[in-house]
Chain A
Amino acid sequence: MVSDPVLQLTDLGFHTGGRDLLQGINLQVAEGECVAVVGPNGAGKSTLFRTLSGEWSPSTGEVWFDGKPLANWTLGDLARLRAVMPQSSSLSFPFAARDVILMGRMPHDSGREQDEAIVEEVMDVCDVRHLAQRHYTALSGGERQRVQLARVLTQIWQPVATGRRLLLLDEPTSALDLSHQLDLMQLVREVCGKAVTVLVIVHDLNLAARFADRVMMLHNGASVAVGAPAEVMRPDLIECVFKVKTQVIEHPLYGCPLVVS
């Protein structure tokens, strides 16, 4: 059991139209931990993401963030501590990429000067400086994804006295090529370090195995395994959940499990 978790899901369930999209999800995420959620299409990953980000309220159970039920948080307080990156953004107005990133400072009243300084810093870290003045609408899918990541990082860039910070990412690598996928996950891990807790939904098992501290595998709306990547990435489990015969070997470079199909 994790003591004093940043994020805690207890018996979380979500029913709609007579179907259980999620049931009995229990998870505790410790401070500074990076937890990846994996599962096949339709396993309930997005439903889980929406419920734990507070967009949908759960039918059963509760989501606790930093010692308080999510429902007891005001939107403003929550936004100062927690950033959420959606799968894709529907921004169709020609904001400069830099302005999009700057919007991450909206919940804070740290003053224009400091906000600008943070944006500059984040743009370097995320390698989006060259996009700063480009219109968001003119960017490629991968570039947009990086700008959105920069925006959510900007939002929780600084420690806040009122609580512990959390970053929720919904398939942040979906529009990226292989090298950018690795870069993005590496970046998230480095930037967040031990200061920001991360929960990320990923499609790619190997990405989860390499970058996450712990992995939760979903199947038909239920959690079938939670644990260190080596415990969860088992051929029998993967075959049962993904219907694919695989072998799991040790990654020759990083030592993490490597799923080979």
Chain B
Amino acid sequence: MVLNQYAGMRSQLFVVRLPGASAPGFLFMALRNLPPYNSQLIFVRDLTDMFHSRPLVFHCLLLMLLMASVGLSLSLGSITVPVAELVDVVVGRLVGEAITGTADMVVWQIRMPRVCLAVLVGACLAVSGAMVQGLFRNPLADPSLIGVSGGAAVGAAIAIVLGGTWGWFSPSWNLPLFAFFGGALVTALVYRLGVGPLGTSVATMLLAGVAINAMTSACISYLATTAEDVRLRNLVYWLMGSFNVASWEKVSWVAPFALLSLVMIPLLWKGLNALLLGESEARHLGIQVERLRLKVIVLAALAVGVSVASVGVIGFVGLVVPHIVRLVLGPDHRWLLPGSALLGAALLSLADLAARLVVEPQELPVGVLTAALGAPFFLFLVVQRRRGQLYGV
């Protein structure tokens, strides 16, 4: 009896340790047995099997990744702040005994708001990507591909170029508000165009996205030609998508909206799962589809709108991140939504770190970096889908 219990405990311990312990071993095996042309996919499948029943383990890993990337982003840069000093500054600030000096200046005044923005925006973009993909029942939908970011950008550009001329609202409120309505309008439009009586047409939706993106860039170009010099410069910098505009003031107005959508969106998991079966199937399972759709559109517009308004257009995060999470955890939105938020936050803060480091002392707009990395990944997905290998479709 005692022996049995012991054996049970041992096997449990083993199971808990399994993912961490066997991943390097598996990697080694996968590399050694390179020849099968889709060994990479076998690897992905095995990862999927390994984690499928253990979303919590994966979330813990994601959380660790996020903490590591935040730590790295705070510590690295033109001045490297050692970890010990970093901890001193952060703890000092949080507990109340602020340490003044260069380290505090660099970490708390310059890097911290920037990291906060990257984390919030990354989480928002990734989670709304996952959600929009669920709404459209298509893994290739992405807020920037179907024009939502573009719509938000037009709204924000109007606020930048014409803002303040009407005298109502402060400019810092105009921007998110306009971005929100721009994003909401386009999401609703694309959805109306993409959904016919026979269900959702992906081709229509993506084509609508192409057309809307063309229209939005025309709008923005027009606004740019009419803008005065200072505003034009603001607009151009902002369009490239960068975190160098970060400040605590900015974080203070981004955070409430971002956190609101980050809390609300994962609550929709059940309805989104049912929706994947089809709209009428979801209705027959008791889901109020119209209401769910409205919530998704409003929340996507809010999350994407506030992201675009604060740091400009950053593409592909919303597309790539949910894909990676789906490969590991499967399509269940209960885990997909929080997982995407965590991974999006971690990846975007890492991308921002890279954007600061690669061309030092210059800085790359992070939108350029995510597009440069995300676009090839997207092409890879398209090709894989075509070959019918991914997901075994």
Interface residues of A (CB under 8 A from B): 53-55, 75-76, 78-80, 82-84, 86, 89-96, 99-100, 103-104, 106-107, 135, 137-138, 155
CA distance A53 to B280 in the complex (A): 10
Contacts of A90 in B (CB 8 A): 137, 199, 277-278
Instruction: Name the distance in Å between B294's Cβ and chain A's nearest Cβ.
Output: 15
Contact B392 A106 (CB under 8 A): no
Which of B76-84, B97-105, B243-251, B282-290 is the interface stretch? B282-290
Q: A100-B277, A103-B277, A137-B392 are in contact. Are A92 and B284 (CB under 8 A)?
A: no
Name the CB-closest residue of B to A79: B286
- Given known contacts A93-B139, A94-B392, A95-B330, A103 and B283 CB-to-CB distance under 8 angstroms: no
Give the docked Cα–Cα distance between A94 and B331 (Å). 6
> Residue B17 at the A interface, CB < 8 A?
no
Instruction: Answer yes or no: B138 CB below 8 A from chain A CBs.
Output: yes
- 1/0 contact string of B324-362 vs chain A (CB within 8 Å): 001000111000000000000000000000000000000
Contacts of B392 in A (CB 8 A): 94, 135, 137-138
Contact mask B55-70 → A, CB, 8 Å, 1/0? 0000000000000000
B393 within 8 A of A: yes
A152 nearest CB across to chain B (Å): 8
Q: Contact at B393–A78, with CB atoms within 8 Å?
A: no
User: With A and B bound together, what is the CA distance between A155 and B284 in angstroms?
Assistant: 10
Ordered by A's residue number, 22 sampled pairs between the chains whose C-beta atoms are within 8 Å are: A55-B280, A75-B287, A78-B284, A79-B285, A84-B284, A86-B280, A86-B281, A89-B277, A90-B137, A91-B278, A92-B138, A92-B393, A93-B139, A93-B331, A94-B393, A104-B285, A106-B286, A106-B287, A137-B392, A137-B393, A138-B393, A155-B285
Contact in complex: B137, A92 (CB < 8 Å): yes
Interface set of B (CB-CB < 8 Å, partner A): 52, 137-139, 199, 270, 273-274, 276-278, 280-281, 283-288, 326, 330-332, 391-393
Given A54-B283, A92-B137, A103-B285, 5 new contacts (CB under 8 A): A75-B286, A75-B288, A90-B199, A104-B285, A135-B392
With a 10 A CB-CB cut-off, give which of B139, B273, B277 has the most chain A CB atoms: B277
Cross-chain contact A95 with B286 (CB below 8 angstroms)? no
Whether the pair A83, B284 counts as a contact (CB closer than 8 A) is: yes
Chain B nearest CB, measured from A234 CB (Å): 35
Pairwise interchain contact B286-A78, C-beta atoms closer than 8 A? yes
Q: Is A137 touching B278 in the complex (CB atoms < 8 A)?
A: no
Which among B277, B280, B330 is the interface contact of A91 at CB below 8 angstroms?
B277
CA distance A86 to B199 in the complex (A): 13
- Decide: B391 and A94 in contact? CB cutoff 8 A: yes
Which B residues are in CB contact (< 8 Å) with A75? 283, 286-288
The reply to whether A95 and B285 contact each other, CB–CB distance below 8 Å, is no
Please provide the 5 A-B residue pairs with the shortest distance between their CB atoms, ordered closest to farther: A79-B286, A138-B392, A93-B331, A107-B286, A94-B391
Cα A83 to Cα B274 in complex, Å, equals: 14
Shortest C-beta distance, A87 to chain B (Å), equals 11
Q: Cα distance A96–B278 when bound, in Å?
A: 16
Asked if residues B391 and A137 are in contact (CB atoms below 8 Å), the reply is yes
Contact call A103/B273, Cβ cutoff below 8 A = yes
- Give the nearest-CB partner of B390 in chain A: A94
Residue among B52, B274, B331 with max Cβ neighbours from chain A (10 Å): B331
Give the CA-CA distance A107 to B281 in the complex, in Å: 12
**A96 proximity list for chain B (CB < 8 A):** 52, 330
Tell whether, in the assembled complex, residue A95 and residue B284 are in contact, meaning their CB atoms are under 8 Å apart: no
Complex Cα distance, B277 from A83, in Å, reads 14
Whole-angstrom CA separation of A78 from B393 in the bound complex: 33
Do A103 and B393 touch across chains, with their CB atoms under 8 A apart?
no
Bound-complex Cα distance A80 to B286 (A): 8
Tell me the smallest distance from the CB of B277 to a CB of chain A, in Å: 5
Q: Is the CB of A95 within 8 A of B274?
A: no
- Please pick, from B138, B283, B331, the residue contacting A55 in the complex, using a CB distance under 8 A: B283
A11 to B387, CA, bound (A): 51
* Cross-interface CB contact of A89 among B138, B273, B281, B391, cutoff 8 Å: B281
Q: Which has the most chain B C-beta neighbours within 10 Å: A86, A90, A99?
A: A90
Measured CB to CB, the nearest residue on chain B to A107 is B286
- For the complex, what is the distance from the CA of A92 to the CA of B140, rounded to whole Å? 12
How distant is B179 from chain A, measured CB to nearest CB, in Å? 30
Our pick among A54, A93, A106, A155 for the contact of B270 (Cβ within 8 Å) is: A106
In angstroms, Cα B280 to Cα A84, docked, is: 9
B332 — nearest CB in chain A belongs to which residue?
A: A99
Please name all residues of chain B whose beta carbon is closer than 8 Å to the beta carbon of A107 when the two chains form the complex. 285-286
Contacts of B286 in A (CB 8 A): 75-76, 78-80, 106-107
Give the chain B neighbours of A106 by CB distance below 8 A: 270, 273-274, 285-287
Q: Is the CB of B276 within 8 A of A91?
A: yes
Closest to A90 in B: B278
Give the Cβ gap from B268 to chain A, nearest Cβ, in Å.
13
